Amino acid sequence: MSESAISLTNIPRISPMFRFQWEEAQACHVLLYPEGMVKLSGSAGEILQLVNGKSTVGEIIAALKEKFPGAPLDNDVLNFLEAAYGHGWLRSVDD
């Protein structure tokens, strides 16, 4: 994964260092890791829910557009994914 822009053909997966799940008590999606928990915003949760180690970034964006028609989300999604890679939450399947 290069530091800069993420390609639409990249296939992300959740890093084995984290677990992504819905937390009822927090009413949000979270990432759990040794001795900590990141609470995710609604949109971050929507995006990570689609990360499955099979879908490309392009497919993830397409799926979100279908779910939220009319929302201009390309850049937001790319920015979030880039940040998520930066935090180590995501890895490329071919990494």
Partner 1 sequence: MVTVGSAALTTSKPLWLLAELTYRCPLQCPYCSNPLEIAKYKDELDTEQWISVLRQARKMGAAQLGFSGGEPLLRQDLEVLIAEARRLGYYSNLITSGVGMDEARVAAFKEAGLDHIQISFQASDEELNNYLGGTDSFRHKYEMARVVKKHDYPMVLNIVIHRQNIDQIEDIIKMTIDLKADYVELASTQYYGWSKLNEAGLLPTREQLARAERVAHDYQDRMKGKMKIIYVVPDYYETRPKACMNGWGSIFLTIAPDGSALPCHAARQLPGFTFPNVKHMSVEDIWQTSDAFNRFRGDDWMKEPCRSCVDKGKDFGGCRCQAFMLTGDATNADPVCAKSAHHAALVAEVNRITAVSLETVKTQPLVFRNMRNSRELAP
Closest to 47 measured CA to CA, from 84, 86, 92: 84
How far apart are CB 65 and partner 1 at their closest, in Å? 30
Q: Contact with partner 1 (CB under 8 A): which of 2, 3, 4, 34?
A: 34
Q: Contact with partner 1 (CB under 8 A): which of 3, 4, 9, 25?
A: 25
Show contacts with partner 1 in window 35-64 (CB under 8 A): 35-37
Closest to 5 measured CA to CA, from 74, 54, 78: 78
Helix or strand or coil: residue 7?
A: coil
Of residues 23 and 74, the one with the C-beta less far from partner 1:
23
Q: Contact with partner 1 (CB under 8 A): which of 33, 55, 58, 63?
A: 33
